[in-house]
Amino acid sequence: MGIVIGDGAHRYAVTENWGKLPDGWRFGEVAAVGVDSKDQVYVFSRSEHPMMVFDRDGNFLRSWGEGVFVRPHGVHFGPDDTIYCTDDGDHTVRQMTTDGRLLLEIGVPGDPAPYMSGSPMNRCTHTALAPGGDIYVADGYGNARVHRYDPAGRLLYSWGKPGTEPGAFNIVHNICCDEDGWVYVADRENHRIQVFDGKGRFETQWNNMHRPCGLCMTKGRNPIAIIGESGPGLAINARSPGIGPRVSLWTHDGKPIARLGDATLDRPSQFIAPHGVAVDSRGDIYVGEVARTAMRNKGTPVPDDQAVRCLQKLIKIG
């Protein structure tokens, strides 16, 4: 079974070297992971083949997106199995079929809004869908806003501003929505998840986490939130225990129930920079990492062929 992490009802077996690539291919960095209704896994990577698709056993199925994306960042699946791909390098969200056919494009490729203007988009990061099909966009690195669009891509309204108070953001890094319509925003550099109603009215916030990057939820009532915490971004505290990098599980009302990962350990189950997370129908968790970027930021030498720990599968056994 290999290494097991977690405890009690939240135990996972770590699958090393999951995702079998064709000869000569590489993941580079895995910015995001998504799972369709057939439990096929879509790996959005910063490589020559941006979208790589695998079955749940890690067998390669196909790729697409070559020459389309500038800097992959976010992936989200709709109930109809269309996939929303967020590209912070060209400031767009693209709704696509599972074989890579474009259905909808939000934003103008290569034409960002002015920095921190509040207008869409400047380095958008991720998307979520409201129960009725409206599209939320986290925007992102060059803005401090959430935008809501109708299913045809027409802007309805936006909320948020730079800052630290409730309702303000310091890097809107990820976003998801539950079946009741509550909107959960990973406010990365404020070290919190903020919760809003569908109109952008602040409800509450979850604290006691460090740089939340990845964010997804299980389906159904009372979902579990899965959060990829990137951990320290500086060399000075890179090995500090208790602040990640790790994957955390939280109740839908903001109570932590499991922490997976310990920066003081050096083993395959230890994360470097969990950036995107997804969960399949069996409760298995897929974790995409931007390890090379994190290592450079911490002053760690990164070989040109570095591809360590950029994608892991955690098989639920608890």
Examine the pLDDT at 3 and tell me if it is beyond 90.
no
Examine the pLDDT at 45 and tell me if it is beyond 80.
yes
Band (pLDDT 50/70/90 cuts) for residue 234 is confident
Residue linked to tokens 């939130």: 225
Examine the pLDDT at 296 and tell me if it is beyond 80.
no
The mean pLDDT of the chain is 93
What pLDDT score does 310 carry? Answer: 87
How many other CB atoms sit within 10 Å of the CB of residue 44?
26
Cα–Cα distance between 31 and 213 in angstroms, integer?
A: 10
Question: What's the Cα-to-Cα distance from 81 to each of 38, 44, 75, 100, 292, rounded to whole Å?
Answer: 9, 16, 12, 12, 31
Examine the pLDDT at 268 and tell me if it is beyond 80.
no
Element (DSSP H or E) covering residue 295: helix 291-297
Query: Mean pLDDT lowest for which of 17-26, 53-62, 184-193, 295-304?
Result: 295-304
- Name the CA radius of gyration of the chain, rounded: 18
Average pLDDT over residues 150-160: 98
Average pLDDT over residues 236-252: 90
Cα–Cα distance between 165 and 194 in angstroms, integer?
A: 11
What pLDDT score does 20 carry? Answer: 94
Element (DSSP H or E) covering residue 294: helix 291-297
Burial degree of 253 (CB within 10 A; 0-12, 13-18, 19+)? exposed
Question: pTM for the whole thing?
Answer: 0.95
What pLDDT score does 244 carry? Answer: 87
What does DSSP assign to residue 20? B
182 touches 221 (CB < 8 A) = no
Which is higher by pLDDT, 236 or 305? Answer: 236
Of 316, 146, 297, the residue nearest 247 (C-alpha): 316
What pLDDT score does 7 carry? Answer: 87
Examine the pLDDT at 88 and tell me if it is beyond 70.
yes
- pLDDT tens digits along 99-113: 999 999 999 999 999
Q: Hey, where are the domains in the chain?
A: 4-316
Determine phi and psi for 188, rounding to 5 degrees.
-60, -55
Determine phi and psi for 30, rounding to 5 degrees.
-100, 105
Cα–Cα distance between 144 and 161 in angstroms, integer?
A: 5
Residue 299: strand pairing partners: none
289 touches 29 (CB < 8 A) = yes
Q: Is the peptide bond before 245 cis (omega within 30 degrees of 0)?
A: yes
- Hey, which of 1-15, 111-125, 269-283, 288-302 has the most confident mean pLDDT? 111-125
136 touches 122 (CB < 8 A) = no
Examine the pLDDT at 97 and tell me if it is beyond 70.
yes
Band (pLDDT 50/70/90 cuts) for residue 81 is very high
Examine the pLDDT at 25 and tell me if it is beyond 60.
yes
Query: Mean pLDDT lowest for which of 69-83, 124-138, 227-241?
Result: 227-241
Average pLDDT over residues 30-58: 97
Examine the pLDDT at 57 and tell me if it is beyond 60.
yes
CATH architecture of 4-316: 6 Propeller (2.120)
What pLDDT score does 235 carry? Answer: 79
